[in-house]
């Protein structure tokens, strides 16, 4: 019915907070609190937001690396029921993840060839010789020299290590790669190399990205659509150009106003005053953004606004915009 | 070799001047220099940004100003002058007096820089009592005043809390308060907003700008983020592989960057609605113990000539008040 490759409905991830010798549950971290989005083929959708907004947990839940509390995920028209068993195995083959920290996400005792080959071994793809050939291909594809295949991760720079992570993610020819802050740990010159590589791979292989990032500059550069998250909710989702030209949700607006300008003649006048930022363990009533929002009214304290369409096709969760 | 921008010195006397600082590290690769030929000056009311990528020597430079270098590092040469005194020649006690009173530092990670088992208020009060002969209660009152100065919400209550009880933004405010407790004339901030979310970063940058306007201190801000530089700097030093490659007013630097590395950094930042390729800088930074013979940037530089590979370029004035180290720069 839709042309979406991946469809996520009502995804919820709650973590219990336990205390004491009996480990009684004393609260709940509502890390992801019922979000809907879809991802088309060859598309890049970004999840952007600040620490604790649930963007990374969303990626981990899709990979089955944390257990979803509720929600359905449909991949290529097929429902991934509960994300378990052999369905999960098949799904995991077609959906891969690249992590933020190339220093901790690669096994330091494994040679690069074994790291990149591991997914082929696990899913029993091809013969030993074919796997070896594929490793060399993948290394070349991501800009590494195949003659470095016997080296260990520590012998590579941060950018090269991220290339190893990308090669590993590409090994099974996935249709979707979840990129969880893939350039956040890198210097800007190396970050640009990796962003260019991701763009090339999308053009040549047709892979879709779910791109998780806190960096608005990077998000504006790489995305076609952008979902802004705040305390476990999507507060706005729109085409990239529309979102950056006219941020509609007050939080989206605040994010954009907070980003440094890169032009010393157009400096911001940042307010020095502080506001108290709530967390996912103690979520405010109603709209989660209302304690920080200049538009907030009684209605916002009482009722959490639903994500509803606006004239230009974007979805916004706000009583006043 | 002319190393101090004459334009800046002409109108104001620097409160801090560094000349030909060299820092060396002893490690598994032998002894090698991580900062060399480093000269800088900063005047009251001025913000100097030092920008560069990991390992360029910007944090080492900052630590050296307060004599806080890690054990494996040593100052191998040069002068660091504060109010006419050479900091590098002071004894341990004199350095203690200097820190906090003359020069103070704000670190990137307040959670590791603050004492976890002491309340915020006591830490600030202790810093005050280290330098001033005041009673404990007067020092505590001063601590609360300083927390008010950094616009800490609910300062009396926060003073009684421990670092882990505060949010990241409030911890950074507490650290700024700690640095300001004894009215230092020079503040060195090493990546003060890097660990913060962007909306909180905006508040802290706003606070730093606001404080400088009110207190008129000299500020050195170390960062990897050209966005932060554009927001707060008066003057900028760009470092690469332990040396200055460019120095200019913030306007000159952003209007007409000279050094290919500076240009590369600016091109690599994603901005605007452009989905086209970013201008990345090919290759990686060479290890400090194995620097190329000529210009350290030459192996990655699109305009490198034979001379660049052989001879290290002089850091010289290319335009009035605008310095760079590049053989191939042709000003037209």
- Confidence at residue A83, expressed as pLDDT on a 0 to 100 scale: 54
- Confidence at residue A280, expressed as pLDDT on a 0 to 100 scale: 79
Distances (CA, A) of B127 to A101, A207, B135: 37, 56, 13
- Confidence at residue B330, expressed as pLDDT on a 0 to 100 scale: 66
**Are B227 and B44 a contacting pair, CB within 8 Å?**
no
Distances (CA, A) of A46 to A130, A152, A216, B24, B216: 35, 32, 10, 43, 42
Sign of CA dihedral A25, B165, B232, A189: negative
- A72 belongs to a structural domain: yes
pLDDT in tens, chain A (321 residues): 457 999 999 999 999 988 888 888 888 889 999 999 999 999 999 999 998 899 999 999 998 888 889 999 898 888 876 556 777 778 888 999 999 877 788 999 999 999 999 999 999 999 999 999 999 999 999 999 999 999 999 999 889 999 999 999 999 999 999 999 999 988 998 999 999 999 999 999 999 999 999 999 999 999 999 999 999 999 999 999 999 999 999 999 999 999 998 899 999 888 888 777 788 788 899 999 999 999 999 999 999 999 999 999 999 999 998
**Are A116 and A138 a contacting pair, CB within 8 Å?**
yes
Question: Which residue in chain A has the smallest CA separation from B234?
Answer: A264
Query: A256 in contact with B at a CB cutoff of 8 Å?
Result: no
Phi and psi for A124 in degrees, rounded to 5? Answer: 50, 60
Distances (CA, A) of B193 to A254, B63, B207: 17, 17, 11
**Are A137 and A169 a contacting pair, CB within 8 Å?**
no
Query: A267 in contact with B at a CB cutoff of 8 Å?
Result: yes
- Confidence at residue B7, expressed as pLDDT on a 0 to 100 scale: 44
Query: Any residues with CB less than 8 A from the CB of A19 and at least 6 apart, and which?
Result: A26
Q: What is the signed CA dihedral for B104, B107, B110, B114, rounded to 10 degrees?
A: -40
- Confidence at residue B332, expressed as pLDDT on a 0 to 100 scale: 43
Q: Which residues of B touch A182 (CB under 8 A)?
A: none
Angle at A218 between CA A212 and CA A221, to 5 degrees: 115
Q: Which residues of B touch A160 (CB under 8 A)?
A: 284
Q: Which residues of A touch B272 (CB under 8 A)?
A: 220
Mean pLDDT of chain B: 91
B205:A196 CB<8 A = no
Q: What is the CA radius of gyration of chain B?
A: 21
3-class DSSP state for residue B52? coil
CATH number at residue A257: 3.40.50.300
Task: Give the other-Cβ count within 10 Å of B218's Cβ.
Answer: 24
3-class DSSP state for residue B329? coil
- A279 belongs to a structural domain: yes
B230:A273 CB<8 A = no
SS3 content of chain B, % helix, strand, coil (to 5): 40, 25, 35
Phi-psi domain of A127 (left: phi exceeds 0; alpha: psi -120 through 50; beta: other): beta
A272:B203 CB<8 A = yes
- A321 belongs to a structural domain: no
B169:A274 CB<8 A = yes
Question: Which residue in chain B has the smallest CA separation from A158?
Answer: B284
- A73 belongs to a structural domain: yes
Q: Which residues of A touch B269 (CB under 8 A)?
A: 188, 192, 217, 262
Count of structural domains within chain A: 1
Question: How is the beta sheet containing A78-79 ordered, strand by strand?
Answer: A24-40, A4-19, A70-75, A78-79
Residue A107: closest CA among A42, A185, A168, A37: A168
Q: Is the ipTM of this complex over 0.90?
A: no
Query: Any residues with CB less than 8 A from the CB of B191 and at least 6 apart, and which?
Result: B59, B108, B222, B223, B224
For residue B319, pLDDT over 90 is answered with: yes
For residue B2, pLDDT over 50 is answered with: no
- A51 belongs to a structural domain: yes
Q: What is the DSSP string of B90-141?
A: --HHHHHHHHHHTEEEE-S-HHHHS-TTS-HHHHHHHHHHHHS---HHHHHH
B284:A216 CB<8 A = no
For residue B108, pLDDT over 60 is answered with: yes
- Confidence at residue B177, expressed as pLDDT on a 0 to 100 scale: 94
Angle at B62 between CA B142 and CA A161, to 5 degrees: 120
For the record, the structure tokens of B138 come out as: 């007067």
B169:A269 CB<8 A = no
* pLDDT class of B279 with cuts at 50, 70, 90: confident
- Confidence at residue A152, expressed as pLDDT on a 0 to 100 scale: 94
Q: How many angstroms separate the CA of residue B278 from the nearest CA in chain A? A: 6
Distance separating alpha carbons of residues B121 and B129, to the nearest angstrom: 12
- A234 belongs to a structural domain: yes
Q: How many angstroms separate the CA of residue A86 from the nearest CA in chain B? A: 38
B203:A262 CB<8 A = no
Section B227-240 average pLDDT:
96
Question: Which residue in chain A has the smallest CA separation from B230?
Answer: A264
Section B86-101 average pLDDT:
91
Query: A320 in contact with B at a CB cutoff of 8 Å?
Result: no
For residue B167, pLDDT over 90 is answered with: no
Query: A220 in contact with B at a CB cutoff of 8 Å?
Result: yes
Q: Which residues of B touch A271 (CB under 8 A)?
A: 202-203, 206
Q: How many angstroms separate the CA of residue A6 from the nearest CA in chain B? A: 23
Q: Could you tell me what percent of chain B has a pLDDT over 90?
A: 74
- Confidence at residue A274, expressed as pLDDT on a 0 to 100 scale: 78
- Confidence at residue A255, expressed as pLDDT on a 0 to 100 scale: 94
- A83 belongs to a structural domain: yes
- A173 belongs to a structural domain: no
Could you report the per-residue pLDDT of A43-94, keeping only the tens digit for each?
Answer: 999 999 998 899 999 999 998 888 889 999 898 888 876 556 777 778 888 9
For the record, the structure tokens of A22 come out as: 């009996």
A196:B227 CB<8 A = no
For residue B84, pLDDT over 80 is answered with: yes
Question: Residue A61: which domain range?
Answer: 4-104+178-189+200-316
Q: Which residues of A touch B297 (CB under 8 A)?
A: none
- Confidence at residue A81, expressed as pLDDT on a 0 to 100 scale: 65
Could you report the per-residue pLDDT of A156-187, keeping only the tens digit for each?
Answer: 988 999 999 999 999 999 999 999 999 998 89
For residue B5, pLDDT over 80 is answered with: no
For the record, the structure tokens of A170 come out as: 């590409």
- Confidence at residue A92, expressed as pLDDT on a 0 to 100 scale: 82
Distance separating alpha carbons of residues A119 and A94, to the nearest angstrom: 11
Q: Which residues of A touch B209 (CB under 8 A)?
A: 270, 272
Distance separating alpha carbons of residues A56 and A178, to the nearest angstrom: 10
- Confidence at residue A254, expressed as pLDDT on a 0 to 100 scale: 94
- Confidence at residue B76, expressed as pLDDT on a 0 to 100 scale: 95
**Pairing outcome for strands B218-223 and B47-51:** parallel
For residue B204, pLDDT over 70 is answered with: yes
* pLDDT class of B1 with cuts at 50, 70, 90: very low
């Amino acid at each position: 019915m839709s042309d979406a490759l991946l469809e996520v409905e009502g995804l919820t991830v709650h973590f219990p907070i336990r205390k004491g010798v009996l480990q009684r549950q004393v609260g709940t971290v509502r890390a992801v609190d019922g979000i809907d989005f879809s991802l088309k083929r060859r598309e890049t959708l970004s999840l952007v937001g600040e620490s604790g907004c649930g963007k990374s947990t969303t990626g981990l839940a899709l990979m089955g690396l944390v257990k979803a509390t509720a929600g359905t995920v449909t991949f290529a028209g097929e429902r991934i029921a509960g994300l378990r068993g052999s369905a999960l195995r098949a799904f995991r083959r077609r959906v891969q993840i690249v992590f933020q920290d190339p220093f901790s996400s690669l096994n330091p005792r494994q040679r690069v060839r074994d790291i990149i080959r591991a997914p082929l071994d696990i899913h029993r793809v091809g013969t030993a010789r074919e796997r070896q050939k594929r490793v060399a291909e993948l290394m070349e594809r991501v800009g590494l020299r195949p003659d470095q295949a016997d080296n260990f991760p520590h012998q590579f720079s941060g950018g090269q290590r991220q290339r190893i992570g990308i090669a590993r993610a590409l090994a099974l020819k996935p249709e979707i790669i979840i990129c969880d802050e893939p350039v956040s740990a890198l210097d800007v010159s190396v970050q640009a190399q990796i962003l260019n590589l991701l763009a090339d791979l999308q053009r040549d292989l047709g892979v879709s990205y779910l791109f998780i990032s806190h960096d608005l500059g990077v998000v504006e550069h790489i995305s076609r659509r952008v979902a802004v998250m705040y305390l476990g909710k999507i507060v706005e989702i729109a085409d990239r150009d529309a979102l950056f030209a006219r941020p509609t949700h007050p939080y989206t607006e605040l994010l954009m106003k907070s980003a440094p300008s890169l032009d010393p003649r157009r400096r911001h006048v940042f307010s020095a005053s502080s506001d108290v930022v709530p967390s996912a363990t103690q979520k405010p009533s109603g709209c989660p953004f209302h304690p920080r929002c200049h538009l907030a009214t009684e209605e916002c304290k009482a009722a959490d606004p639903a994500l509803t369409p606006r004239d230009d096709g974007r979805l916004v969760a706000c009583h006043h915009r | 070799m002319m190393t101090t921008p004459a334009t800046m010195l002409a109108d104001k006397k620097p409160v801090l001047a560094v000349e030909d600082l060299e820092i060396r590290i002893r490690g598994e690769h032998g002894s090698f220099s991580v900062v060399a030929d480093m000269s800088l000056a900063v005047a009251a009311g001025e913000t100097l940004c030092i920008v560069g990528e990991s390992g360029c020597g910007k944090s080492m430079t900052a630590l050296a100003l307060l004599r806080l270098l890690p054990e494996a590092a040593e100052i191998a040469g040069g002068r660091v002058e504060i109010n006419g005194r050479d900091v590098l020649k002071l004894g341990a006690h004199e350095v203690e007096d200097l820190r906090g009173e003359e020069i103070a530092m704000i670190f990137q990670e307040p959670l590791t820089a603050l004492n976890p088992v002491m309340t915020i208020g006591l830490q600030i009060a202790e810093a005050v009592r280290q330098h001033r002969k005041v009673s404990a209660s007067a020092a505590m009152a001063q601590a609360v005043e300083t927390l008010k100065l950094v616009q800490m919400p609910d300062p009396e209550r926060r003073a009684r809390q421990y670092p882990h009880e505060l949010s990241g933004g409030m911890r950074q405010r507490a650290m700024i308060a700690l640095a300001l407790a004894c009215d230092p004339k020079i503040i060195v901030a090493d990546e003060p907003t890097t660990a913060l979310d962007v909306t909180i970063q905006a508040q802290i940058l706003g606070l730093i700008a606001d404080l400088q306007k009110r207190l008129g201190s000299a500020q050195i801000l170390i960062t990897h983020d050209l966005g932060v530089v554009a927001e707060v700097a008066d003057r900028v030093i760009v470092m690469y592989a332990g040396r200055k490659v460019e120095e200019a007013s913030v306007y000159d630097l952003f209007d007409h960057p000279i050094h290919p590395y500076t240009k590369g950094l600016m091109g690599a930042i994603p901005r605007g609605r452009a989905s086209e390729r970013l201008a990345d800088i090919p290759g990686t930074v060479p290890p400090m113990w194995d620097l190329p013979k000529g210009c350290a940037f030459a192996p990655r530089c699109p305009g490198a000539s034979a001379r660049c590979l052989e001879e290290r370029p002089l850091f010289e004035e290319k335009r009035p008040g605008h310095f760079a180290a590049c053989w191939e720069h042709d000003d037209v």
